[in-house]
Amino acid sequence: MARINEIVKYKKKRETTEIILTYMADRTAIDTIKGYFYQFDYAIVKVLELSQDTDAIIVEGIEDVDLNTVTEETAIQCKYYAKTEYNHSVIAKPIKLMLNHYKEVTNGTKKRINYKLYGYFQSGQTKLALPISSTFLKDHFLTYTENKIKRYHHLELNLTDVELDDFISLLEIDISALEYQSQLSKISTLLMNHFGCKAFEAEHFFYNNALKVIKDIAVESNIAKRKISKSEFLKRINFKRVLFNEWFILYKGEAKLFAELRTQYFTDLNISPFERFFIIEVPTINYVRAELKDLIFTVSRKWSKLSAREPHPFCPYIYLHNILPQELLDLKKELFSEGFIFIDGFDFDGSEFNPKSISKSANNSNCIKLKILNKLEHIDLTVKEINKTKEIYQFYNSNPFFDIPYPSVKQTHIQFSLLTDIKKII
C-alpha cells in the first residue's frame, strides 16, 4: 500500500472517484488498484479472523498488515500478481526488507516478531520448495546484481548463517494465496456468519463500511491511529446504511451499484399501497432547482397510483432537508403554476401544521400527486398519525439527519453524492 496516499489524498467523494477512474485508464494502473483492493480485503479478513476482541491489526505498520495478539506479533507483506508467474526475484525485495527489520532486532533496537509473505500468482508456485534453507535464502533472495555489481544483502547486514536460520524460523512464505474473488467470497461468509445477515447486506452494508474503515486508517500519518482492534472494527462497521464510499463504488462500479440498490429496494412489479416517505438532503453546493424538480416528478410518478381502477390509491411524501425556506416557497409556487397538485399539511394561511390534513388519501378525484413536508419534525408527527404500513427512505449527503426509530416502520438509509444519483436508484 506504499502509494495509497497518491490515490486517496483527495477527500471529496465524487472527485476522488473520478481521479481514481482516470488513474485506472491505464491497464497497468487497473492491476495496481486491484492490488490495493486485495490488500484492503486481506486486512479485513485478518481482523475478522482474530480470535479475541482485544486482538488488533495495524494497517501499513512494519508491513502491509501487522497482527498483534496476546501470543504473537506478525508483520505480513501481501502481494497480488494475477498475471505474473512466480519467480524468486519477485518476492526477493520484500524478504530483504523483512531481513532489514530482523537486523535491527539483533541490534536490540526493534522487538522480535514473526514475518509472513502472502502472495497470489498466476502460476509457477511449484518453483518454490518449502521450507527453505539459509543457502537457498542467500542464493535466491539475498544475492542480486545492481549496476553490474554483484551484491550480497546478508553480508552487507553482517548476518551469520545461524542468524539467517533464526530469521527463517520466523518467516512464513505462502505463494498460494486466495484468488481475488475467492478472498471476497471469504469476507462475505465471515460477515454473514458474524452479523447473521444475507449476502446483499454483507456486501452493501458491512463490506462497504469495512472498506471505508480500512482506507481511512491506512492514510493516517500516526501509526497509533492505524491500529484497530477486532471489537472496535466490528463496532465501526455495524450499521445498516448504504455509503457512497468511493472505494466501494470503484470496486462495484457506479452503474452496477445503482442497479443493485434499485433491485433491492425500489423494484416491485405490483407496488403495494404503502405510505412512503422520501426524505432527501438537498446539497448546499451546486444546487440546481431543475434537478430537484426532476427528482420530485420522478418520485411522484414512480410511487403514486391514482387510477380510478386502483382500489387503494396512494402517493408519496417528500421532505427536503436543508432547503432554504424561500427556495422551498419558490419551488412550491413553480410546481403549482405548472399544475402539479400537492398538499403540505397547512389548511389555511397562518394555520399550524396538521398531520391529519397531510395524511388524507390521494385519489383520482383530488389528483394529489405528492405530499410535501416542510419541516423535519413534521415527519414524526405524520408517521404517528398514519395507521397504514409505512416506509421511510432517507437519502443523505454526509450523515443521516433523521434518526427516530420506529419498530414497525422499514427505514432505509442511502448516501448519495449528486441529486441525479437518486433518480438512478429509485
Q: What is the pLDDT of residues 158-189, one digit of tens each?
A: 999 999 999 999 999 999 999 999 999 999 99
* Residue 231 binned pLDDT confidence (cut-offs 50, 70, 90): very high
DSSP code, position 395: E
Does one domain contain both 68 and 149? Answer: yes
Boundary residue ending a domain (198, 213, 237): 237
Cα–Cα distances in Å, from 377 out to 35, 183, 374, 382?
47, 45, 9, 9
Does the structure show a pLDDT above 70 at 273?
yes
Tens digits of per-residue pLDDT, 315-335? 999 999 999 999 999 999 999
Q: For the chain, what percent of residues have pLDDT higher than 70?
A: 92
C-alpha span between 52 and 104 (Å, rounded): 29
Task: Decide if 213 is inside a domain.
Answer: yes
Task: Decide if 244 is inside a domain.
Answer: no
Does one domain contain both 70 and 187? Answer: yes
Does one domain contain both 136 and 260? Answer: no
Least reliable range by pLDDT among 150-154, 222-226, 372-376: 222-226
The SS3 of residue 35 is helix
Does one domain contain both 265 and 226? Answer: no
Task: Decide if 248 is inside a domain.
Answer: no
Boundary residue ending a domain (237, 267, 286): 237
Which grid cell sits at 38? 486485495
C-alpha span between 47 and 59 (Å, rounded): 10
Does the structure show a pLDDT above 60 at 19?
no
Number of compact structural domains in the chain: 2
Task: Decide if 242 is inside a domain.
Answer: no
Residue 30: predicted pLDDT: 60
63, 77 Cβ separation under 8 angstroms? yes
Task: Decide if 245 is inside a domain.
Answer: no
Domain housing 11: 4-237
Task: Decide if 247 is inside a domain.
Answer: no
Bin 404: left if φ > 0, else alpha if -120 < ψ < 50, else beta. beta
What residue has cell string 497470489? 120
Strand residues in 240-340 grouped as ranges (E): 275-281, 317-321
